[in-house]
Amino acid sequence: MCSNKQGITYRDAGVDIDAGNKAVELMKDAVKRTYTEGVVGDIGGFGGLFSLAGFDMKEPMLVSGTDGVGTKLRLAIMMDKHDTIGQDCVAMSVNDILVQGATPLFFLDYIAVGKVVPEQIATIVAGVARACEESGCALIGGETAEMAGFYAEDDYDIAGFAVGIVDKPRLLTGADIAAGDILIGLPSSGVHSNGFSLVRKIVFDHKGMNLGDEVPEFGKTLGEELLTPTRLYPKAVLPLTRKGLVKGMVHVTGGGFYDNIPRILPDNTSARVNADAWPVLPVFKKLQEWGHVDTKEMYRTFNMGIGMILVVGPDNVEAVKANLTKHNEPFYEIGRIEEAQGERVIMEGRDFVD
């Protein structure tokens, strides 16, 4: 029989319910700012509710996506900087569902931590909320799991879940892509959230660098450059998909050009990409230099400065360019679709000359 007058509590086991409740209170205002007309109910329910009553579509289809941030989180933890990682989480899922022509409706997040620090959690979620606002979707649910003994006290992980809607006739599958179509690239903001295992191998293990090191080519510290958040593409892309101006899209994530472009290509086509058509960002030039990385390896790991690729029929190219210009969205004509050439993606340019 236990002689203690007071038994062991959940807090003794490493889980602080009060801290979790405080984190929820701190994030409430940021979350509510994301609410759109479809949101039903308020924070605190067991499930997030969203009404589709206002959508006038013949055949509405829901499109969902989920992703995390990967080992980029390690840099955020090392720098104790948590205000941008939420945008990475949103962007990785929202940009994926955009590829199928979907308008983002709502988002949910999941944060697992070794120890809940309310202010830190609120900072992370505020970043999620800002990205949801920019993407036009509501943050209607989330979970913060304090997992003492599973994660170290300073560690955490984050994952996100996006749901969008598209009218079936507007669903982008890539099936109509044909030889003669043009590839238009939208610039990335940097490394985004892919390839960080290689990034860390280069800068820490190979070069012995610190995140506080100033890099003249970046105009900022190494850590500040690498934590630049992933771009959100809804504002640039949705006006085009709603007008039926795009045949297919590619979100350039892990696997770079070689693995992502084939995902939307019909079997009888190949993509020819001119790597000289856009400026490669300094961060990629330095990573390649520091790690002596082969050029093909760079293009099969990183986005190299292009975060989203639009496949556009020749008759719609000028309309797409005019629309992007109207919305102050920079773009580059980076290649074309050809009859199948054996290789699904043919990279050309000065760096690919044998």
pLDDT exceeds cutoff 80 at 108:
yes
Q: How confident is the model at residue 46 (pLDDT cuts 50, 70, 90)?
A: confident
Residue 216 domain-assigned? Answer: yes
DSSP state string for 215-239: ETTTTEEHHHHHTPPPPP-HHHHHH
Tokens 């909320």 belong to 129
Tokens 């993509």 belong to 271
CATH number of the domain at 314, please: 3.90.650.10
Question: Do residues 117 and 79 both lie within one domain?
Answer: yes
Question: Do residues 31 and 74 both lie within one domain?
Answer: yes
Question: Do residues 121 and 235 both lie within one domain?
Answer: no
Determine the average pLDDT of the residues in 154-170. Answer: 96
Domain boundary among 148, 170, 192: 170
Determine the average pLDDT of the residues in 203-213. Answer: 97
Residue 116 domain-assigned? Answer: yes
Measured over the CA atoms of residue 209, residue 214, residue 216 and residue 222, the dihedral's sign is positive
pLDDT exceeds cutoff 50 at 1:
no
Residue 50 domain-assigned? Answer: no
What Å distances lie between residue 254 and 89, 92, 104, 307, CA to CA?
A: 14, 11, 22, 11
Question: Do residues 235 and 333 both lie within one domain?
Answer: yes
Q: How confident is the model at residue 5 (pLDDT cuts 50, 70, 90)?
A: low
Determine the average pLDDT of the residues in 183-192. Answer: 98
Could you tell me whether strands 103-113 and 138-146 are parallel, antiparallel, or unpaired per DSSP bridges? Answer: parallel
pLDDT exceeds cutoff 80 at 266:
yes
Determine the average pLDDT of the residues in 9-15. Answer: 80
Distance CA 239, CA 323 (A): 8
Question: Do residues 216 and 151 both lie within one domain?
Answer: no
**Which range has the worst mean pLDDT, 28-42, 89-103, 201-215, 293-307?**
28-42
What pLDDT, on the 0 to 100 scale, is given for residue 354?
Answer: 57
Could you tell me whether strands 156-167 and 60-68 are parallel, antiparallel, or unpaired per DSSP bridges? Answer: antiparallel
Tokens 């985004």 belong to 192
Q: Which residues contact 56 (CB under 8 A, 6 or more apart)?
A: none
> For residues 209 and 324, is the Cβ–Cβ distance under 8 A?
no
Residue 175 domain-assigned? Answer: no
Distance CA 247, CA 174 (A): 6
Residue 346: closest CA among 177, 183, 176, 175: 183
What pLDDT, on the 0 to 100 scale, is given for residue 28?
Answer: 87
Query: Residue 319, SS3?
Result: helix
Could you tell me whether strands 182-187 and 103-113 are parallel, antiparallel, or unpaired per DSSP bridges? Answer: unpaired
Cα 151-157-161 angle, rounded to 5 deg = 145
- Count CB neighbours of 297 within 10 A: 14
Q: Which two tokens stand for residue 288?
A: 């390649």
In the chain, the largest separation of any two C-alpha atoms, in whole Å, equals 83
Query: Residue 205, SS3?
Result: helix
pLDDT exceeds cutoff 60 at 4:
no
Q: How confident is the model at residue 24 (pLDDT cuts 50, 70, 90)?
A: confident
Residue 83 domain-assigned? Answer: yes
Determine the average pLDDT of the residues in 2-23. Answer: 78
349: left (phi over 0), alpha (psi -120 to 50) or beta: left
pLDDT exceeds cutoff 80 at 3:
no
Question: Do residues 160 and 105 both lie within one domain?
Answer: yes
> For residues 209 and 327, is the Cβ–Cβ distance under 8 A?
no
Domain boundary among 150, 170, 190: 170
Determine the average pLDDT of the residues in 6-21. Answer: 83
Domain boundary among 170, 196, 216: 170
pLDDT exceeds cutoff 70 at 235:
yes
The kind and range of the H/E element at 146 are strand 138-146
What pLDDT, on the 0 to 100 scale, is given for residue 249?
Answer: 98
Residue 327 domain-assigned? Answer: yes
Distance CA 311, CA 59 (A): 24
Residue 28: exposed, middle, or buried by beta-carbon count in 10 A (0-12, 13-18, 19+)? middle
Which residue intervals of the chain are DSSP H helices?
Answer: 17-32, 72-79, 85-98, 118-135, 196-200, 222-226, 234-242, 256-260, 282-291, 295-299, 317-326
pTM summary value: 0.94
Report the number of distinct structural domains present in the chain: 2
What pLDDT, on the 0 to 100 scale, is given for residue 6?
Answer: 75
Q: What is the pLDDT of residues 284-335, one digit of tens each?
A: 999 999 999 999 999 999 999 999 999 999 999 999 999 999 999 999 999 9
CATH number of the domain at 142, please: 3.30.1330.10
What Å distances lie between residue 231 and 11, 76, 235, 275, CA to CA?
A: 39, 17, 11, 20
Average pLDDT of the residues of the chain: 94
What pLDDT, on the 0 to 100 scale, is given for residue 2?
Answer: 46
Distance CA 142, CA 128 (A): 11
Question: Do residues 107 and 247 both lie within one domain?
Answer: no
For 144, the domain range is: 17-44+56-170
Percentage of the chain surpassing pLDDT 90? Answer: 84
- Count CB neighbours of 62 within 10 A: 12
Give the type of residue at 327: H
